[in-house]
Amino acid sequence: MSEINQEVVDILKKTKAIISDSHFVYISGKHAKLYVNIFELRNSLNPPNIPQSC
């Protein structure tokens, strides 16, 4: 993993928006070691100009 990608993963872990200690199977059938919880990411960033319905 590149240095930039690792930095992004580290930031997402700090915000608890990424889960990396499990195994995920997506709807497409693909497997992954990482999962980004978009709702957790949105809540941790909490930008004032994005409606809560997004």
pLDDT along the chain (54 residues), means of 10: 78 83 90 86 68 56
Rounded to whole angstroms, the Cα distance separating 41 from 43 reads: 5
Distances (CA, A) of 24 to 17, 19, 51: 15, 10, 29
Residue 50: DSSP 8-state: S
Whole-structure pTM over 0.85, yes or no? no
7 in helix, strand or coil?
helix
Q: Report domain extents, the chain.
A: 3-45
